[in-house]
Amino acid sequence: MKVTETRLKGVFVVEPQVFGDARGWFMESWSQQKFEDAGIHIRFVQDNQSFSAVRGTLRGLHYQLNPMCQAKLLRCTRGEILDVAVDIRKGSPQYGQWVGAKLSAENKKQLFIPHGFAHGFLTLTDNVEVQYKADNYYAPACDGNISYKDPQIGVEWGMEPVILSEKDKNAPLLAERTDLNFVYGEDC
């Protein structure tokens, strides 16, 4: 398993080693030891899975406030997505910056998104399944979102989304989020 930090400190692309033979293939998708060796100390408590039928489906940009903030390890097990993380920690030198990675069933890459980051993805194919681990439980009272088309962030999605929830269509800009309680250098 190769764990590589992106240009945003704390966000990592994870590339599992895939072993193939006449039967198919095998890979290790999660290893606590290998994450700890890379300096990531995390305890996952919940697994989630989503399905999106249509290319151009957008989910995000989402986050959970403290004390229920979530770190996530996300992978695409069917189809392909552009997965995006945005730093929303007050005082961070990376505040408002984003990084994206193409994740697919074919490349088997994963993206680790730490606390204090908003997260979203856009489906690049039809019939997409996404699975992710979270280190905190879903808490509706702490749920928040930011507009996927916020010009301050400037995510380059590569196409205009065709399907998204009303919540995501009407999400506020980052500058309008006065409830953010993530502070650079502090954990939740």
Instruction: Kindly state whether residue 184 falls inside one of the protein's structural domains.
Output: no
pLDDT digits (tens, 9 = 90+) for 29-51: 999 999 999 999 999 999 999 99
Predicted local confidence at residue 178, as pLDDT: 85
Catalytic center residues: 62, 132
Spatial separation of the C-alpha atoms in residues 151 and 157, rounded to whole Å = 12
- Domain assignment present for 162: yes
Q: What is the pLDDT of residue 179?
A: 84
At residue 153 the predicted structure's pLDDT band, cuts being 50, 70 and 90, is very high
Which tokens belong to 67? Answer: 């004390």
Q: Total domain count for the chain?
A: 1
The pLDDT value recorded for residue 127 is 98
187 falls within a domain: no
Question: C-alpha distances in angstroms, 118 versus 25, 62, 88, 170, 181?
Answer: 33, 5, 7, 16, 12
Average pLDDT of 118-128?
Answer: 98
Q: Is 182 domain-assigned?
A: no
pLDDT tens per residue, range 67-108: 999 999 999 999 999 999 999 999 999 999 999 999 999 999
Which structural domain range is residue 89 located in?
A: 2-19+26-176
Residue 74's CATH number: 2.60.120.10
Q: Establish if 181 belongs to a structural domain.
A: no
- Give the global pTM: 0.94
